[in-house]
């Protein structure tokens, strides 16, 4: 699920960047924040609906043993 949320942040970031067309670094800095917010809202909504945390502190290596 964490990978899906990461992808959910990347796709809107690309789309927002294309729509806004930032002209310099300062303008570009805000684009990933906006894309990440899309994933953050989805994460909070999912956690609210399921009543469980989606992101865990378990590392993939630890979970495979």
Q: Which of 30, 44, 39 is nearest to 11 (CA)?
A: 39
pLDDT at 4: 87
Pinpoint the alpha helices (H) of the chain.
Answer: 2-20, 25-50, 60-63
pLDDT at 57: 74
| 58 or 52: which leads in pLDDT | 52
pLDDT at 65: 56
- How many whole angstroms separate alpha carbon 18 and alpha carbon 45? 26
pLDDT at 64: 58
Q: What is the pLDDT of residues 4-50, one digit of tens each?
A: 888 888 999 999 999 999 999 999 999 999 999 999 999 999 999 99
């Amino acid at each position: 699920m964490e990978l899906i949320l990461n992808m959910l942040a990347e796709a809107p970031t690309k789309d927002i960047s294309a729509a806004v067309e930032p002209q310099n670094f300062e303008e570009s800095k805000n684009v990933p924040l906006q894309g990440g917010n899309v994933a953050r809202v989805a994460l909070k909504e999912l956690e609210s609906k399921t009543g469980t945390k989606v992101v865990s502190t378990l590392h993939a290596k630890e979970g495979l043993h």
